[in-house]
């Protein structure tokens, strides 16, 4: 896998939580590989005040990489990243806290996509939180060049309707055959999973279980010990990471990044 993007159409279905959960699960699924989260939500980072509990300055990460005079490579992105865990298997390139800085992220998106691609060989899988689509500074290049884009939604009518429109726009942007997927957080009520997939014009939808306790740790910080790794959320994230890796492999060779 090279670059995997999570986004949403409406509400707050769990994009950031899902991105962090999958990034946590990837090194468990592919031992020896590392994961890097790109915190690219131009509406503002939820990871800096959330999982990282404001323990890291907001002037590093993507902003620092974007103004790096020495040029940007996969290695530079990793150097600017902060560790999410003690083993050094999981990293995050932190995003912005002031939405007026969204333009910098948007303008840097093609370079970020190139950096993400360069990290595949050294064994780093990149997971991107793009947040809600349609922002005026949406980093479209990340959506365009990702191996897989997953639209996160809940099993409610507004969420499904929004996801349907978002998937349509993404198919226009990325082409109908590319890895553009739907990911439902929580159980499939009141609509069945098959009915939802049909509505979204997909052969199936990926899922991640509802697990407030483990999601709370990824949202607000907390212990990521054995109980966390054995939680329903992390077990679901491991299965999801496996499915997403398979979807990404099926698409190889990946389309080239164009500027």
- Helix 212-220 / helix 232-250 crossing angle, nearest 10 deg: 80
Residue 126 interaction partner, one of Mg ion, ligand ATP, none, beta carbon < 5-8 Å per kind: none
User: For ligand ATP, which is the closer residue by CB, 60 or 221?
Assistant: 221
Question: What is the layout of strands, in order, in the sheet containing 206-208?
Answer: 82-83, 90-93, 34-39, 124-132, 3-8, 148-153, 179-185, 206-208
Q: What residues form DSSP beta bridges with 148?
A: 4, 179
Residue 115 interaction partner, one of Mg ion, ligand ATP, none, beta carbon < 5-8 Å per kind: none
User: For Mg ion, which is the closer residue by CB, 21 or 118?
Assistant: 21
Distance CA 259, CA 108 (A): 11
What are the angstrom distances between the C-alpha of 237 and each of 22, 229, 230?
A: 5, 10, 11
| Cβ count within 10 A of residue 29 | 19
Of 3, 4, 15, 23, the one binding Mg ion (CB under 5 A) is 15
Of 184, 173, 176, nearest to 240 by C-alpha is 184
Per-position x/- string for 17-56, each x denoting binding to Mg ion as judged by CB under 5 A, each - no binding: -----------------------------x----------
User: For ligand ATP, which is the closer residue by CB, 104 or 219?
Assistant: 219
Residue 94 as a binder of Mg ion (CB under 5 A): the answer is no
Tell me which residues touch ligand ATP (CB under 6 A). Answer: 8, 12-17, 41, 46, 131-132, 185, 208, 210-212, 215-216, 219, 233
Residue with tokens 């069945």, as numbered in its chain: 192
Residue 16 as a binder of Mg ion (CB under 5 A): the answer is yes
User: For Mg ion, which is the closer residue by CB, 61 or 74?
Assistant: 61
CB of 8 to Mg ion, least distance (A): 8
């Amino acid at each position: 896998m090279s670059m995997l993007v999570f986004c949403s159409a409406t509400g707050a279905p769990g994009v950031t939580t899902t991105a962090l959960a999958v990034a946590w699960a990837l090194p468990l699924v592919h031992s020896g590989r590392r994961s890097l989260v790109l915190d690219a939500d131009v509406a503002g980072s939820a990871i800096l005040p959330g999982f990282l509990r404001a323990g890291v300055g907001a002037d590093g990460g993507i902003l620092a990489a974007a103004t790096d005079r020495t040029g940007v490579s996969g290695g530079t992105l990793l150097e600017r990243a902060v560790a999410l865990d003690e083993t050094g298997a999981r990293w995050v390139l932190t995003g912005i806290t002031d939405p007026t800085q969204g333009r910098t992220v948007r303008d840097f998106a093609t370079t970020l996509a190139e950096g993400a691609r360069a990290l595949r060989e050294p064994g780093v899988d990149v997971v991107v939180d793009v947040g809600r689509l349609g922002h005026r500074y949406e980093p479209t290049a990340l959506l365009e060049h990702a191996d897989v884009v997953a639209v996160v939604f809940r099993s409610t009518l507004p969420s499904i309707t929004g996801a349907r429109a978002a998937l349509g726009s993404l198919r226009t942007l990325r082409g109908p055959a590319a890895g553009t997927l739907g990911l439902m957080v929580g159980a499939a009520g009141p609509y069945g999973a098959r009915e939802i997939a049909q509505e979204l014009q997909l052969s199936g939808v990926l899922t991640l279980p509802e697990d407030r306790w483990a999601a709370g740790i990824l949202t607000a910080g907390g212990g990521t010990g054995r109980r966390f790794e054995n939680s329903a959320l992390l077990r679901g994230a491991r299965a999801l990471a496996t499915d997403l890796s398979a979807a990404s492999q099926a698409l190889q060779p990946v389309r080239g990044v164009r500027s």
